[in-house]
A and B are shown apart, each in its own frame.
Chain A
Amino acid sequence: MSELKLPSIDYAALAPILIMLGAALVGILVEAFVPRRLRNAVQLGLALVAMLAAIVMVILNADARLITIGGAIAVDGPTLFLQGAILVLAVMALLLVGERTVERGGAFVAHAAVTAESAEDRRQAEGVGGATEVYPLMSFAIAGMLIFVAANDLLTMFIALEVFSLPLYLLCALARRRRLLSQEAALKYFMLGAYASAFFLFGVALIYGFTSGIPGRGAGVDFATVHAAVTDSSSSPVLLFAGMALLAIGLLFKAAAAPFHVWTPDVYQGAPTPVTGFMAACTKVAAFGALLRVFHVAFAGASWDFTPVLGAIAVLTMLVGAVLAVTQTDIKRLLAYSSIANAGYLLVGVLAPSREGLSGTMFYLAAYGFSVLAAFAVVTLVRDADGEATHLSRWAGLGRRSPFFAAIFTFILLAFAGIPLTSGFTSKFAVFGPALEANQAWLVIAGVLTSMVLAFPYLRVVVMMWLSEPGESTPTVTVPGALTSAALVIGVVATLALGVVPGPLLDLTTGAAEFVR
């Protein structure tokens, strides 16, 4: 019997992941042992401290460029940058999740059977405390995302995908208001997500088959083996193409790219708004992080084959997102379609296989995350007696009622529209420039044309808020608690700062834009 050889493990490099997993486990214990009244504060504090500690570890690891734990995890520039981005955005989302003063009792239901305005619901509002499972679930999801962007083989990536997806399905179902919509969203997300996972897994199997077909090499699904197999011209590409397509479906589903986007508007609308913000920012970072790694590291040798297909998907995504956004009447659905269109712009960056392209995509991910979280933070504040007022007609004349928040939202919408001096402009520039350099002018032109279409729905909201007279049903903006204010300030300041002085972050992304193989 041969000796079992243990892989070497670099615990310091894994620290951010371990911290978040540990925090999630401790969070479950807190649920079991800490009295109900204290749970919210303890859980919030725990999650926040864990995230900050993980951020510190990411910063301490900044120069790490290594592959550890038997080739399963790669800690390199993109990993660290994306992990940092996920964590920082997650802190913002956590602040929104932890908010308890905007709506008494919080935005989350205690358990599935509680309906809005029921006796139990009112008790929650009186301070008994709602569902604090949100925090460990979020920690699990974040841990999964941190692994997802660092995964160096396809199986680890699949497990990470499940680790962050399952908590998200649950989180979607936890809205305290509009319970049915929320549960429908969760079910839809779960069903479609399960299909996507199955596609991904099948793709992994096919790729394994592809690598095993090459004589003189061991089979495997780690990126180095896949890369070597792809560059080996002797192998038949059928399995490769099929496997690549199935993998891409799984990843593009999470990234909300057309035609795998159909879940996005329903889920974004039904999920509790803080969770929607979390998904729009962090899931996007994680999904594109994985896409970048898979296509730039594992399949780099096949770029001639996948670039036209992904390019077509990018164009379709931009088109679908932009055109359907025009017809939306609900602010959360509008932001969902805008997020789909943004996935298209990000794909343009993915298809620029240069250091600048990688750097630009990462810049875009971070910048977009800040803006979209700030946008959803404002959405949580515009409310009436029935909770958030998300129908656009209800936003008419908001600028007159609450000029400050309307101004903030206008600024964010201008950022989405790509007006200069906002991060929306610099990030578009950061992905379009390298794409043009990579001779993908058609993608840039499609991006520019869809930006024009997309400007219209944004502008319509601005018109609604400022130029329409306030109606009877115009809700007021709730004065945000400290947590939401903090998230809002971070988001808006980042959107402005990255638009005016993008230099420092660009230095960071450029320095980080190299994968270890």
Chain B
Amino acid sequence: MSNFPFLSVLTVAPLVGALVVALLPRSRPDLAKLVAFGWSLLVLVLSVVMWFAFSAGGDRFQFRESYPWIPNWGVNFTFEVDGIALVMLMLIAILVPLVILASWHDAEASKRSVPAYFALLLVLECTMIGVFAAADVFLFYVFFEVMLVPMYFLIGSYGGHQRQYAAVKFFLYSLVGGLFMLAAVIGLWVVGGKTFDWQALSQAEFATDTARWLFLGFFVAFAIKAPFFPFHTWLPDAGGAAPAGAAALLVGVLDKVGTFGILRYCLPLFPEASRWFAPWALALGVIGIIYAALLAVGQNDLKRLVSYTSIAHFGFIGIGIFAFTTQAGTGAVLYMLNHGLATGLLFLVVGMLIARRGSALISDFGGAGKLVPVLAGVLFFAGLASLALPGTAPFVSEFLVLIGTFTVNKPVAVIATLGIILAAAYVLWMVQRTTQGTLNPALTEVEGMRRDLTLREKVVVAPLIALIVLLGFYPKPVTDVINPAVQATMQDVGKSDPAPEVGSVQEAAK
């Protein structure tokens, strides 16, 4: 079974599905939805099979496939995954069907082609899987850039208020980062011996200055994508304007490409430069945590608020990566998964709330829990998961990041901890102002607010809630997969974990 070409099939399958859906007549929107949903379930099933075919204790990279593409430049279709990429692929495979289900009626609202909306979602899934599965730098770059196109149209054609502005801003920011990366990719190719193969490049040695410049090229692209402070300004606009489903994918998966890219490309390829730049990256992470959290507290637009919380969470992931300890690194990767689940859930629930009220402004709500108690409860849960309450999955990852960082860099860990307090503030205030307190009389007049969660919406939120709770109590299956990959990455950087103090005393005693 492990000989099955999982990765290329996983990449191509959504694209085929997208073509099928796009070719369906515009007059059959329901058929398009069903086909798209069915197709994404198929991808999910395949991913689950792959998850079990992956041997956690085996090689760092598995399922390698390689086909020649542009021999003149040494470009190949090379796919392989380590534990980190595998976890991200699972996240995509889980989120996409749920997003399709959650966006069931989103496309109708825009008066545009319904099949096209779902086809774009599947194209997006194809590029997202490709970007995580690629093991050829050129191929990675191609997916990284092409990914923008479906997202651009999802935001621009199906988004809400200010969608044009947001779509263009999103595209330009990402393209700018991408072009910096292109320069670095070309540079890497020239100094790395005209190959794009990750394995070969990770063995290559670069001059110190060259490596630092190349690192910077990649890092800027990933920092914009992630986004880290101060490259983050596009996310609130894009997240605020995108339809809720697309926003969940944007924040839940697309942005992880940035942090994944740092782990996969910046650290192993340019270890010296990574260590040299690490203090700067840590500073950006810490600033991001505090600054974005403060902005989130002050937001009046639900979707923008969730976007800002994400920027704060990306700060945590950033410091987890650049602390260079296995604990913090594992925490960061786990955070990437958990943030995808928790924020994805939060975006979807907020989307349901907004769809009912017809407005994203917090001030238009108030006491909504009295009208839609189940929805309010789910919102509360998603909020708690987002602020990393113990018992939910994000707690595990945030805790790992903080203790992993504390062992090597106490000030950063201490300042970052303040972010947890701010997280409690913005989540609880949001929940209080929307669903608690006295009922806003305007709400009772809105038709949609009288309807609590439908069966479809329950099906959307249930798996996410279950996963968040499950991984909150028992993250071992995931950490088992992540740990070896993170350890290998840390070895590439040339950092070893600080030896526990007790251990060193015992050593001395011998």
Whether A associates with B in a native complex is: yes
User: Which A residues fall within an 8 A CB radius of B?
Assistant: 414, 417-421, 425-426, 428-429, 432-433, 436-437, 441, 444-445, 448-449, 451-452, 455-456, 459-460, 463, 466-468, 501-503, 506-507, 510
Contact among B157, B163, B172, B190 for A456, CB-based, below 8 A: B172
Contact among A419, A436, A502 for B146, CB-based, below 8 A: A419
A501 nearest CB across to chain B (Å) = 8
| Among listed B29-37, B92-100, B178-186, B251-259, interface-contacting one | B178-186
A500 nearest CB across to chain B (Å) = 9
Contact among A428, A441, A455, A506 for B70, CB-based, below 8 A: A506
| Majority DSSP secondary structure for residues of A touching B | helix
- The answer to whether A436 touches B186, judged by C-beta atoms less than 8 angstroms apart, is yes
- The answer to whether B179 touches A451, judged by C-beta atoms less than 8 angstroms apart, is yes
How many residues does chain B have at the interface if contact means C-beta atoms less than 8 Å apart?
A: 30
Contact among A421, A437, A460 for B190, CB-based, below 8 A: A437
- The answer to whether A467 touches B157, judged by C-beta atoms less than 8 angstroms apart, is yes
- The answer to whether A459 touches B171, judged by C-beta atoms less than 8 angstroms apart, is yes
Other CB < 8 Å A-B pairs besides A420-B142, A502-B70, 19 of them? A419-B145, A419-B148, A420-B141, A429-B73, A429-B182, A433-B186, A444-B186, A445-B183, A449-B179, A452-B172, A452-B175, A459-B171, A460-B168, A463-B164, A466-B153, A467-B156, A501-B69, A507-B72, A510-B72
Most buried by A among B146, B167, B172, B186: B186
Question: Can you pick out 30 interface pairs between chain A and chain B where the beta carbons lie within 8 Å of each other?
Answer: A417-B175, A418-B179, A419-B145, A419-B149, A420-B145, A425-B142, A426-B70, A432-B183, A433-B189, A436-B186, A436-B187, A437-B190, A444-B183, A444-B187, A452-B172, A452-B176, A452-B179, A459-B168, A459-B172, A463-B164, A463-B167, A463-B168, A466-B157, A467-B157, A467-B163, A467-B164, A468-B164, A501-B69, A506-B72, A510-B72
- The answer to whether B156 touches A466, judged by C-beta atoms less than 8 angstroms apart, is yes
A436: which B residues are within 8 A, CB to CB? 186-187, 190
B175: which A residues are within 8 A, CB to CB? 417, 452, 455
Residue of B nearest to A509 (CB): B72
- Expressed in whole angstroms, the Cα–Cα distance for A460 and B165 within the complex equals 10
User: Which B residues fall within an 8 A CB radius of A?
Assistant: 69-73, 141-142, 145-146, 148-149, 153, 156-157, 163-164, 167-168, 171-172, 175-176, 179-180, 182-183, 186-187, 189-190
A508 nearest CB across to chain B (Å) = 10
Contact among B71, B142, B153 for A421, CB-based, below 8 A: B142
A503: which B residues are within 8 A, CB to CB? 69-72
- Expressed in whole angstroms, the Cα–Cα distance for A87 and B52 within the complex equals 57
A441: which B residues are within 8 A, CB to CB? 187
- Expressed in whole angstroms, the Cα–Cα distance for A455 and B148 within the complex equals 13
A498 nearest CB across to chain B (Å) = 11
B179: which A residues are within 8 A, CB to CB? 418, 448-449, 451-452
A360 nearest CB across to chain B (Å) = 10
A445: which B residues are within 8 A, CB to CB? 183
Counting from the closest, the 5 A-B pairs by CB-CB distance are A420-B142, A506-B72, A467-B164, A448-B183, A448-B179
B156: which A residues are within 8 A, CB to CB? 463, 466-467
Contact among B141, B164, B180 for A448, CB-based, below 8 A: B180
A410 nearest CB across to chain B (Å) = 9
B171 nearest CB across to chain A (Å) = 6
- The answer to whether A455 touches B172, judged by C-beta atoms less than 8 angstroms apart, is yes
- The answer to whether A433 touches B183, judged by C-beta atoms less than 8 angstroms apart, is no
B193 nearest CB across to chain A (Å) = 12
- Expressed in whole angstroms, the Cα–Cα distance for A436 and B153 within the complex equals 34
Q: A467-B163, A506-B70 known; A420 and B146 CB under 8 Å?
A: yes
- The answer to whether A433 touches B168, judged by C-beta atoms less than 8 angstroms apart, is no
A444: which B residues are within 8 A, CB to CB? 183, 186-187
B164: which A residues are within 8 A, CB to CB? 463, 467-468
B167: which A residues are within 8 A, CB to CB? 463, 467
